[in-house]
A and B are shown apart, each in its own frame.
Chain A
Amino acid sequence: MIKIEQLTKTYPGSTVPAVKAIDIEVRQGELVTLLGPSGCGKTTTLRSIAGLETPDSGRISIDDRVVFSSSERIRVRTNRRNVGMVFQSYAIWPHMTVFENVAYPLKSGKVPRAELNDRVRAALQLVGLSDFGDRPAPNLSGGQQQRVALARALVSEPSILLFDEPLSNLDAKLRDSMRQEIREVQQRLGIASLYVTHDQVEALAISDRVIVMSDGDILDVGDPQRIYERPASRFVAEFIGLANIFRVTETREVDGLRVGVSEIGELRFRGDPSARSGEADADILIRLEDVHLVPVDRVGSTDSNVLAGTVLSALFLGTLWDCLVEVNGVRVRAHVPRARHPRAGEQVGVEIGFDKCTVIG
């Protein structure tokens, strides 16, 4: 369990804080990701938990033990915090074998030889490297090195696990399978984990909860589906998944639906019941897979929003077409099923369901 309260850190020589008084909690057995663009403060936060950075103020506790507190003047050294950490570069020591790498955290704890052997072997088995103990560490592939790093992080049975962009140096296919493995191991051990990544797909796939950060602030916290479907702000919407975002003005209520004027035309959508009619402008988020291309004669339909548009371009991505459509002089991006091949210049109807328009901001 990790609890962070009011954590603030400004690097020497910088006037802007890297982390601004944030609160984070990771419960027992939970995997939480810190997601954000580079320089958003996510790695600083993670390194502060490990004790590799010293925050300016705030309080960090691991399993109810305070490891850092500015007000109480407590700072437990990194090597006394009992955390497991997987680094971006794997940080596998090249002058040691796989076994020696994994055994390293146990030696300082003065573990008996037999127990040490058993625990290292168990950790290697957990990551599927049972037969690799005697290998010199540099002779492993990237994926194998990352498994060694994971085994090393786990072997001392730490209170928490920290992951610093562990998959960013792997190629795309390996990343997918390692993602699953990390999740499985974490679930099996039920260990509180904080996972830093800038890859939103990875964050959605692996987490129980996602924390979106930008410029040292937390912008949104929630389970992956909620974050994807109803992001807290325009920034979050744009950072996670692909999005069309339009500004609507002059909203009014018609037949239980809200109607607003946007740059692509009039949009009808299910509004927030608490919002009053005619009140402030809003941003409308429409995910790419929720934009459908339909025959042009359906324009003006009453079942959904259908606007007239012209296909500008379509790129084939394998599973689908990534398509740009001009609607009322504005570009709308759509993911179109593979079977329907949009042609440039084609006149189409652009259909957006009432409940696919999400009000944000």
Chain B
Amino acid sequence: MSPLDVDIPVDRGTTQEAPSYVRGLRSRLAEPKVLIFAALLLLLLWLVVAPVGVLIWGSVSSVRPGDDDFFSIGALTLDNFSRAFDSELVAVLANTATFAIGTTVLAFLIGTYLAWAVERTNTPFKRIITIMVLARLIIPGILTTISWIFLASPRIGMINSWAESLFGVNEPVVDVFTLPGMIFVEALDVFPVSFLLMSAALRSMDPSLEEASLVAGRGTFSTTLRVTLPLIMPAILATLIYMVIRGVETFETPTLIGLPADVPTFVVEIWKRTSTIPTDLGLAAVYAVLVLALAVVLVWGYNRATRNSRAYQVVSGKAFLPRRTDLGRMRWVSAGFAGFLLFLSIVLPLIVLIWASVQPPFRGVQPLTPAALVDFENLSVQNYRDAFSSELTRRAVWNSAVLAVSAATIITGLMAVTAWVTVKTRIRGRQLLDQLAFAPVAVPAIMFGLAVLWMYLSVPIPVYGSLWILLILYVARFTPVPFRTLSSSTTQISDELQEAAEVSGASWWRSFRTIMLPLLRPGLLAAWVFVLVHSFRELGASVLVVSFGTEVVGVAIFDLWENGSFGLLSAFGITILTGLIIASLVASWVSSKFGVKDQ
């Protein structure tokens, strides 16, 4: 950048007669884009880097965060690390890796199969399949995890009692409290992510590349193997890595199933060390730093994979009419298999949850049988009455709603500007901003919670105990996906559209407000809804940060589970879900009505 690359403001009124240009570089700092850049940089450093720094510091400090001399150099020690590196660490690492990779592989297979069936075959009921997969995204993972415990626990599991009553099997046939059980439950929760990523890759691939192979005399199988697969390889790699990161950081399944099953993973260990007596904060910090290191390596791999995919230029964002394989009669088999997967993932857990919600309070969850179903005497709507009247649930819904709407609005606004700075300006250091906005992807949820908690215990900013600390946490944690969404939307808006506004005499703010924002509307809405949904189902980071009075929905369900209030939590969960489904229907109606049509 030359020293002259600054806009020098000129007083419009006086330029016509005598040139009174403001000279020199004094005004450089006053330039809007430089100011905006600096403000965003400081904000992201504060939101993301500072808490992580405090946590890392905590891992090498012998003093508890919040104590006066937490930041004193004298307290530095490697003691925490030397305590961490023992035989247990190997087991934790092995469990975490097996769980994350197993989940990824299973979820990837399910997601990719469904994506292929929907995008590239003539499997019937495509729309219903897509809608159900998307609906799965908004169901909080903790609810389905609990459902599967009701279904497949060795003692109270309905599947086992069905097996007993139907076939007289006395031994449990399924046991969710195992590592494979955890993988199965988690994969059914996260496969929609791989569905979305893979269907985007399959949809945006230029079909003429495959047609060229067919014309060249290759069969469908050979074409898939030699053309399709290599072309979408970067997308596959990126999806796999992203899923592994999610598998490492997820909270619900490892805690609810892994803890009683005695399958310790990093998340469980951090949770145990910070919330059950005796606590060992130093060791928790070391574990958190180790997970962070692991995640950073994975994100580095993710960035490499997605950079390569740009070099391939097949995921171009252009709309093609993809080639669809005619499955013949097999299309019904394909639809049936998809239906089976969605039944396991959505329908069955929801039925169980509804069943659990109509049990009388404190009776436990009875196996669902035809006889029990018509035994109206033993059914009750009391749980729903309690869900609507309980202080905890009402507070949790209110807190989550306030947090979700605020976080969604703040993040969408911030990331729209951040995306503009990183995509449309040539300010030096904009890549740093790009990396900072994407960095939270590498910070596992529970670690983020711990980091934010410790930071605000150690610095004199009185947010602990209020909703503010949760808002700060959510804003910091959910920037990456909205940022990527908005940068790709911003990239698609031609530079000339804003340049035309500038040439027409519009100031930066006017051109951003009247041209960029309206054109970004679909991206803004997508980003907003994403944060809303994810804030609402957030648990892994909040669980360490909430205090009495600031419970959120996920944490409330978790508390109810720990108290054994199964009926109440089910009724609460079903109520929340109904609300979320209505909200997303409204959102999709709004976006179809007010979204800018694609050209």
Contacts and interface: CB of A to CB of B under 8 A. Distances in A.
Interface of A: 12, 50-52, 54, 56, 65-66, 70, 72-85, 87-89, 91, 93-95, 104-105, 108-109, 138, 149, 152-153, 156
B7 interface: yes
A77 B19 contact: no
B369 to A, nearest CB: 58
A78 to B, nearest CB: 4
8 contacts: A12-B426, A65-B15, A65-B19, A74-B23, A87-B500, A93-B501, A105-B504, A108-B504
A95 B506 CA distance: 17
Most central of A56, A79, A109 by chain B CB within 10 Å? A79
Contacts of B499: 50, 52, 78, 85, 87, 91
A73 B497 contact: no
Interface string B490-505: 0000101101111111
B290 interface: no
A104 B510 CA distance: 11
Nearest to B6: A75
A78 B23 contact: no
A54 B507 CA distance: 17
Interface in B252-310: none
A50 B426 CA distance: 18
Contact of A76 (B10, B519, B599): B10
Nearest to B2: A56
B494 A80 contact: no
B21 interface: yes
Contacts of A65: 15-16, 19
Contacts of B12: 80
Contacts of A89: 494, 496
B166 interface: no
A79 B15 contact: no
A57 to B, nearest CB: 9
A52 B502 contact: yes
List 10 tightest A-B contacts by C-beta distance, closest first. Answer: A105-B504, A91-B500, A91-B496, A78-B502, A87-B496, A108-B505, A85-B503, A77-B7, A95-B518, A74-B21
A247 to B, nearest CB: 43
Given A12-B426, A80-B15, A93 B505 contact: no
A56 to B, nearest CB: 6
Contacts of B328: none
Contacts of B6: 75
A45 B225 CA distance: 49
Contacts of B497: 91, 93
Contacts of A73: 4, 8, 23-25
B389 to A, nearest CB: 47
Contacts of B374: none
Most central of A12, A75, A85, A149 by chain B CB within 10 Å? A75
Contact of A79 (B4, B19, B503, B514): B503
A83 B503 contact: yes
B1 interface: yes
B9 interface: yes
Contact of A70 (B4, B25, B504): B4
Contacts of B597: 138
A82 B505 contact: yes
A149 B497 CA distance: 11
Interface of B: 1-2, 4-10, 12, 15-16, 19, 21, 23-25, 426, 494, 496-497, 499-507, 510, 514-515, 518-519, 596-597, 599
B500 to A, nearest CB: 4
Contacts of B506: 79, 104, 108
Contacts of A152: 500, 504
Contacts of B507: 79, 108
Given A75-B6, A75-B7, A84 B501 contact: no
A93 B8 CA distance: 27
Contact of A84 (B16, B503, B510): B503
A73 B597 CA distance: 44
Contacts of A70: 4
Contacts of A74: 8, 19, 21, 23
Nearest to B502: A78
Contacts of B7: 75, 77
A87 B9 CA distance: 25
A83 B504 CA distance: 8
Given A70-B4, A79-B503, A104-B504, A94 B21 contact: no
A298 B494 CA distance: 61
Contact of B502 (A12, A79, A82): A79
B599 A94 contact: yes
B4 A54 contact: yes
Given A54-B4, A87-B500, A89-B496, 8 more contacts: A66-B19, A72-B21, A74-B21, A76-B10, A93-B515, A94-B596, A108-B510, A152-B500
Given A12-B426, A52-B502, A91-B494, A77 B10 contact: yes
B171 to A, nearest CB: 65
Contacts of A88: 496
Given A80-B12, A95-B518, A138 B504 contact: no
B5 A104 contact: no
B8 A76 contact: yes
A149 B501 CA distance: 11
B23 A94 contact: no
A104 B500 CA distance: 10
Nearest to A90: B496
Contacts of A153: 503
B8 A75 contact: yes
A104 B501 contact: yes
Nearest to A109: B505
Nearest to B504: A105
Given A87-B500, A95-B596, A75 B4 contact: yes
A54 B19 contact: no
A177 to B, nearest CB: 23
A77 B599 CA distance: 31
Contacts of A85: 499-500, 503
A156 B505 contact: yes
Contacts of B2: 54, 56
B505 to A, nearest CB: 4
B301 to A, nearest CB: 27
Nearest to A138: B599
A111 B319 CA distance: 42
Contacts of B502: 51-52, 77-79
Contacts of A138: 597, 599
B21 A76 contact: yes
Contacts of B504: 79, 104-105, 108, 152, 156
